[in-house]
């Protein structure tokens, strides 16, 4: 009914929700520091080619979900809003010659991503991710470290029952042979495949493995397993990742059908998964190793691994377990006045307190005192500073709204008194 609404698939984060997101961002920032990742920013959009090359032209993300920006002129380059952060981070890594920094370079980005998808609960066209990338270390230990950091995020955020699923999808040495085998297997059963699956057989046979079609279950179960086809190096890498996970006490499950939709993954693939009550957006986050991406985007061959965690879905999961909503700190005090017309005194006193670093809400509307105090209660202010005739002698009333007591305080002492009261308030 309002003439303008937030575009489809986007939503306004009202203060209550924004506070929850801030809390998650704070946890992400804290973990980044503890694990040695450095926060950075990349543009919300890139040349389309960064995503086409970096993610893969045949992927759904690029093929149908890319948020393309209409070019301003015929010959201007084509841009798209970022559907994920990895490609942009790697582009920046190459552009700024970060291979000259001590390896691995550990980078992290928190912010909105965009996919032109059909919206659903927990799936938006603008959504928020915490993305972390460790670029320049080929070893399995860093894989486990990344996974452990992701897992700890859910623990500290308070999301229960998050499972860690791990798999290896091989590398250039062994995956091609496996794909041939897999393709041959499904081709032999082509007549049993539902229509949409037939198309994927050609385009992306790996994805047949995690089909949710019940008709596929038996077929998938009997399909050749990548774990049986890994080359020696990949197999050793996987078992070492698992050993490191055990060493840091991260419970995990090897999921042979776990594959990733994006082209650049190799070897380690993992997912953070939660069996939700209703809405089926169960993938809370995922990631993997992408040893070929840096080279693909113009850098020298550099191994890398990272993850992307969906913050909207964490927020949803927290709602589901009825975690208490995050409340923003209410103002310490409200500045009210006996004379509704005297906004000058109220603004002056409020300004004075704010200069001392105190958080106060000034009641500046010309409402009578009772209404001003009513607002103070609704805003959960701890104190009210009441300005009246006593100001002539340099005094104001300081009222403790929870105790219901009040006393006369010289204006000169007000900031100090309030700060002291706030302190004892927080400790009591």
Partner RNA sequence: GUGGCCUUAGCUCAACGGCAGAGCAUCGGAAUGUGGAUCCGAAGGUUAUGGGUUCGAAACCCAUAGGCCACCCCA
- By CB under 7 A, residue 249 contacts RNA: no
- By CB under 7 A, residue 420 contacts RNA: no
Alpha helices per DSSP H over 222-368 = 232-247, 293-296, 311-320, 343-355
- By CB under 7 A, residue 244 contacts RNA: no
* Contact call for residues 133 and 106 (beta carbons, < 8 A): yes
Q: Which of residues 290-309 bind RNA (CB under 7 A)?
A: 308-309
Given the structure tokens 């209404």, which residue do they identify? 371
Residue 307's contacts (CB-CB under 8 Å, 6 or more residues apart) are: 131, 132, 146, 147, 150, 270, 285, 286, 287, 288
Decide whether 357 or 404 has the Cβ nearer to RNA: 404
Instruction: Identify the residue among 53, 260, 289, 346 touching RNA (CB under 7 A).
Output: 260
Q: Round to whole Å and give the CA distance between 343 and 337.
A: 8
Decide whether 235 or 326 has the Cβ nearer to RNA: 326
Given the structure tokens 């069996």, which residue do they identify? 275
- By CB under 7 A, residue 234 contacts RNA: no
Q: Which of residues 328-387 bind RNA (CB under 7 A)?
A: 338-340, 365, 367-371, 373-378, 380, 384, 386
Instruction: Identify the residue among 44, 49, 283, 421 touching RNA (CB under 7 A).
Output: 283
- By CB under 7 A, residue 252 contacts RNA: no
Residue 427's contacts (CB-CB under 8 Å, 6 or more residues apart) are: none
Please give the DSSP secondary-structure letter assigned to residue 173: T
Rounded to the nearest 5 degrees, what angle is found at the Cα of 190, between the Cα atoms of 187 and 192?
145
Instruction: Identify the residue among 29, 183, 207, 252 touching RNA (CB under 7 A).
Output: 207
Q: Which of residues 72-91 bind RNA (CB under 7 A)?
A: 84
Q: How far is CA 185 from CA 120, 179, 197, 212, 303, in A?
A: 35, 10, 14, 18, 31
The least distance separating RNA from the CB of residue 101, rounded to whole angstroms, comes to 26
Instruction: Identify the residue among 53, 91, 106, 115 touching RNA (CB under 7 A).
Output: 115
- By CB under 7 A, residue 417 contacts RNA: no
- By CB under 7 A, residue 404 contacts RNA: yes
Decide whether 332 or 401 has the Cβ nearer to RNA: 401
The least distance separating RNA from the CB of residue 236, rounded to whole angstroms, comes to 26
The least distance separating RNA from the CB of residue 73, rounded to whole angstroms, comes to 26
Given the structure tokens 């191994």, which residue do they identify? 303
Q: Which of residues 135-194 bind RNA (CB under 7 A)?
A: none
Q: Which of residues 88-107 bind RNA (CB under 7 A)?
A: none
- Which token pair is 123? 């799936």
Instruction: Identify the residue among 74, 389, 426, 427 touching RNA (CB under 7 A).
Output: 389
Q: Which of residues 11-70 bind RNA (CB under 7 A)?
A: 59-61, 64-65
Please, which contacts does 206-211 make with residues 24 or more away whose CB atoms are closer than 8 Å? 206/169, 206/179, 206/182, 206/259, 207/259, 207/261, 208/182, 209/182, 209/256, 209/257, 209/259, 210/257, 210/258, 210/259
- By CB under 7 A, residue 211 contacts RNA: yes
Q: Which stretch binds RNA (CB under 7 A): 208-216, 226-234, 295-303, 415-423?
A: 208-216
Q: Round to whole Å and give the CA distance between 276 and 202.
A: 33
- By CB under 7 A, residue 209 contacts RNA: no
- Which token pair is 124? 């938006």
Decide whether 93 or 127 has the Cβ nearer to RNA: 127
- By CB under 7 A, residue 317 contacts RNA: no
């Amino acid at each position: 009914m309002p003439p303008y609404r937030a575009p489809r698939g986007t939503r306004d984060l009202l203060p209550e929700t924004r506070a929850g997101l801030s809390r998650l961002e704070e946890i992400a920032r804290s973990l980044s520091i503890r694990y040695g990742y450095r926060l950075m920013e990349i543009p919300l959009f890139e040349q389309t080619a960064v995503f086409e090359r970096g993610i893969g032209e045949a992927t759904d993300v690029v093929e149908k979900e890319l948020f393309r920006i209409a070019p301003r002129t015929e010959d201007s380059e084509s841009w798209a809003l970022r559907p994920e952060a990895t490609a942009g981070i790697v582009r920046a890594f190459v552009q700024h010659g970060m291979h000259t920094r001590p390896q691995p370079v550990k980078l992290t980005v928190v912010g909105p991503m965009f996919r032109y998808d059909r919206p659903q609960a927990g799936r938006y066209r603008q959504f928020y991710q915490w993305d972390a990338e460790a670029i320049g270390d080929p070893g399995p230990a860093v894989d486990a470290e990344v996974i452990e950091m992701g897992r700890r995020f859910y623990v500290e955020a308070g999301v229960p029952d998050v499972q860690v699923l791990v798999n290896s999808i091989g590398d250039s040495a062994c995956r091609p042979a496996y794909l041939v085998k897999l393709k041959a297997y499904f081709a032999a059963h082509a007549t049993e495949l539902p229509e949409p699956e037939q198309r994927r057989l050609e385009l992306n046979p790996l994805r047949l493995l995690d089909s949710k079609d019940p008709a596929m279950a038996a077929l998938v179960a009997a399909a050749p397993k990548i774990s049986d086809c890994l080359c020696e190096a990949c197999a050793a890498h996987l078992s070492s990742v698992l050993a490191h996970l055990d060493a840091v006490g991260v419970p995990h499950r090897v999921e042979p059908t776990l594959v990733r939709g994006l082209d650049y993954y190799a070897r380690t693939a993992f997912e953070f998964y939660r069996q939700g009550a209703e809405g089926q957006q169960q993938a809370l986050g995922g990631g993997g190793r992408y040893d070929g991406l840096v080279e693909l985007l113009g850098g020298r061959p550099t191994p890398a691994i990272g993850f992307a965690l969906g913050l909207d879905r964490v927020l949803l999961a927290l709602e589901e377990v009825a975690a208490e909503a995050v409340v923003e700190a209410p103002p310490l005090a409200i500045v009210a006045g006996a004379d509704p017309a005297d906004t000058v005194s109220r603004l002056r006193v409020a300004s004075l307190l704010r200069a001392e670093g105190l958080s106060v809400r000034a009641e500046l509307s010309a409402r009578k005192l009772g209404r001003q105090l009513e607002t103070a209660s609704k805003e959960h202010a701890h104190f009210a500073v009441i300005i009246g005739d006593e100001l002539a002698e340099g005094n104001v009333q300081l009222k403790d709204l929870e105790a219901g007591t009040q006393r006369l305080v010289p204006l000169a002492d007000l900031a100090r008194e309030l700060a002291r009261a706030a302190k004892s308030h927080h400790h009591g």
